[in-house]
Amino acid sequence: MKITVEKLVHAPIAKVWSAYVTPADIMRWNAASDDWHTTASTVDLRVGGAFSSRMEAKDGSFGFDFAGVYTRVEPEKLIAYELGDRACVVEFMPGADGVTVRVTFDAEAENPIEMQRGGWQAILDNFAKHVEGRQ
């Protein structure tokens, strides 16, 4: 099953793209709630390149690596990647009021669909706040 989340980011495409693919930025926005954070991030933004973000509960109780391999990269337009046997596509769609970022991903079997949708939407919402708050 595919799940889609999206968010309008009120910023120019160059700024949106940069914040999405720069490890220092990723570490600032990549969390679904205030009690989580990303402690490390690597990006090799090319087809066949790998990425990884270490996500941890701030209290140290749990953590995991969100990692995959890029399968398609179209600067300022689209990023596709695989997470093992699951796929994800991130689309960047500029418009008059900013850039709509749409993320479509294969659901995993461990957690309920609504929990997955809510988590990914919260991360995308944090992304928008980060980008819109940057100078």
CA distances from residue 41 to 7, 21, 56, 107 in whole angstroms, order as listed? 22, 10, 12, 23
Q: Rounded to an integer, what distance in angstroms lies between the CA atom of residue 124 and that of residue 109?
A: 21
pLDDT value, residue 135: 45
Q: Which domain holds residue 88?
A: 2-133
Listed residue (36, 51, 58) closest to 88, CA to CA: 51
Give the tens place of pLDDT for each residue, 21-68: 999 999 999 998 999 999 999 999 999 999 999 999 999 999 999 999
Q: Check if the beta carbon of residue 43 is closer than 8 Å to that of residue 21.
A: yes
Q: Rounded to an integer, what distance in angstroms lies between the CA atom of residue 16 and that of residue 117?
A: 21
Q: For residue 89, is pLDDT > 90?
A: yes
With pLDDT > 70 as the criterion, what percentage of the chain qualifies? 99
Number of domains in the chain: 1
Q: Which residues contact 74 (CB under 8 A, 6 or more apart)?
A: none
pLDDT value, residue 134: 64
With pLDDT > 90 as the criterion, what percentage of the chain qualifies? 97
Instruction: Give pTM, 2 decimals.
Output: 0.94
pLDDT (average), residues 73-81: 98
Say which CATH number the domain at 113 has. 3.30.530.20
Q: For residue 47, count other CB atoms closer than 10 A to its CB.
A: 11
Looking at the DSSP assignment, which residues form a beta bridge with residue 87? 82
Average pLDDT, the chain: 96
pLDDT (average), residues 95-105: 97
pLDDT (average), residues 86-94: 98
Q: Which two tokens stand for residue 46?
A: 């090319």
